[in-house]
Structure formats: structure tokens, C-alpha cells
Amino acid sequence: MSDTTLEAVLRRDRAVVIVALAIITALAWADLAWLADDMAMGGMDMTGYRMIPAGRGLMMPADAPWQPIEFGYVFVMWVVMMIGMMMPSAAPMILIYARVGRQAAVQGKPFAASGWFAGGYLLAWTTFSLVATSAQWALERAALLTPTMESASNRLGAAVLILAGVYQWAPLKEACLSYCRSPLLFIQQHGGFRREPHGALALGFHHGIYCIGCCWALMALLFVGGVMNLFWIAVLAILVLLEKVVPFGRLVSRIAGLCFIVSGAWLLAKAF
């Protein structure tokens, strides 16, 4: 195959992957907007009740225990949210995998499809979503979240903000962020590209674990600004994207950390 033909094939594959990722992200955000609008209930007074993110106006008495179906709805909400927030920042990694995989296929040594790698990445965040759902259940049981999934305690909000701010400067955050910012380096240092589907799935899952190590504290901030606050979700998603893809991403991360610490201190002062 000529270089011109190879370049055309790679360009086509890149476009297909970009469109697929864009569609997945758009669908996730559309679903979040639908859920947020449903939970707002047109501004009705929902005192004494909590909304269930089902898109069907479901609610429960605020003091009633969670039912399995509610846990399931909240879990799905978190999965969709993580897809919407993390897919844009994961796109460079997936595009690199798809590009190198296509080159290998042209040379007769194909890798596993990039979908396996992306699936492993999303599997890691699905696991995180299960943890986040359990955390939300525990916080609600402790009356630390409002029925609309916002922090009901200035002390809790301050603690999460300060923790997130400090973590933005932590060595572990820096180590995980370095792999997210250098996807090819990550692949090279973790066994290279994989020919078997299970190998690509494991590699994507491994990368997802590093992303969780980089971003878990930012995701915890959803409990402060509101789990279904679309503006807050968008702010955090943009911060995650800037940290990972712009040349001054580390500086953005640390400036954000300082802002979180100051905001947490201010909120803590209000609590006394």
C-alpha cells in the first residue's frame, strides 16, 4: 500500500473514531440534561421528598430507605455522567490507539480493535461509579445531602473542597496526571499495544485506573456543587480536559487546587 493510500485510510479511521466519541459524549450530556430537568420538577417545592434520577418524575420520602431500583437508577446516572465528563479527555489516548492499530493492520499485524481499549477504560469508570453511588447512599443516610443531591453541610463541603485542593498538589496526582498527559508513554511502559481483545481491555482498564487516580477528588466535588448541577458538572469536565491536554495543564491543576482550598476555608468559616 502506498504512503498516500495509507494516509487516506488513517485519516478516515481518525474521523470515524472522532465522530463515534463525539456521538457518545453528546448522548451522555443529553441524558444528563434530561435527568436534571426532570429532577427540577419545574421549580416545585419538593420539601420532604428526594428525586430519583429516572427521567420519569419519580420521588421518594426523604427519610425512606433506598430501594434496589433507586440504587440502580443512581448508578446508571453516575455511569452516564462519567462518560460525558471523561470521554473528551480520553479521546487523544483512544485516537493514538486507533491510529497505531490501523498501521499495524495494514502491515499484517493487527492489534485488537480500539473499541476494546475504550471499553476497558469505561469499565474502570463504571467501577468508580459503583463506589460513588455507594458514597451517595451513605451521605444521604447520614443526612449530609439534600434531596436534590447537594451538600447539606458547610463542614462537609469545606472538607471536600480542601481535600480536593490539597490533592491537586499531591505527588500521586502528579504521577497519575503524567500518564494521562502522555498516553503513548503510558502504553510503552505498560506492555505496549495488545493483539488480543482481553489484553486491550486490560490496558484500557489500567489507563482508566490512572485517570481515576488523577480525577477522583474532582469527582467528589460533585457532592459539594450538586450531583445534578449541569453547570458544575461542565466546569469540572472542562477542568479535567484542560489538565490533560493543554501544555500548561499542571499549572491549571495547581491554580484550581488553590481556589478549592480558599473556597473550602471560606465555607468552613461560615460553618462557625
With CA atoms as reference, report the closest residue to 76 among 41, 118, 34, 22.
Answer: 34
pLDDT score of 3 more than 60:
no
pTM attached to this predicted model: 0.89
For 230, the domain range is 3-270
What angle, 0 to 180 degrees and rounded to 10, lies between the N-to-C axes of helices 68-106 and 230-245?
Answer: 30
pLDDT score of 174 more than 70:
yes
Whole-number Cα distances in Å, 47 to 44, 61, 142, 146, 164: 9, 9, 17, 10, 30
Average pLDDT of the chain, as a whole number: 86
- The whole-number pLDDT of residue 223 equals 93
Query: What cell numbers appear for 96 in the block?
Result: 493514538
- For the chain, give the percent of residues with pLDDT over 70: 89
Q: What is the pLDDT of residues 19-40, one digit of tens each?
A: 888 999 999 999 999 998 888 7
What angle, 0 to 180 degrees and rounded to 10, lies between the N-to-C axes of helices 197-220 and 114-141?
Answer: 30
Task: Grade residue 145 by pLDDT with cuts at 50, 70 and 90.
Answer: confident
Q: CA–CA separation, 192 vs 178, rounded Å?
A: 17
- The whole-number pLDDT of residue 158 equals 94
- Domains contained in the chain, number: 1
Task: Grade residue 218 by pLDDT with cuts at 50, 70 and 90.
Answer: very high
Tell me the average pLDDT across 9-24: 76
Residue 92 burial by CB count (10 A; 0-12/13-18/19+): exposed, middle or buried?
middle
Q: Which range is least confidently modeled, 27-36, 108-117, 195-204?
A: 108-117
**Mean pLDDT comparison of 36-45, 49-58, 113-122, highest-scoring range:** 113-122
C-alpha atoms less than 13 angstroms from C-alpha of 24 in its C-beta half-sphere: 22
Residues 6 or more apart whose CB falls under 8 angstroms from that of 197 comprise 112, 113, 116
Of residues 36 and 81, more confidently modeled = 81
pLDDT score of 46 more than 80:
no
Q: Which range is least confidently modeled, 188-192, 237-241, 265-269?
A: 188-192
Tell me the average pLDDT across 245-256: 92
pLDDT score of 91 more than 70:
yes
- The whole-number pLDDT of residue 258 equals 97
pLDDT score of 119 more than 60:
yes
Residues 6 or more apart whose CB falls under 8 angstroms from that of 141 comprise 65
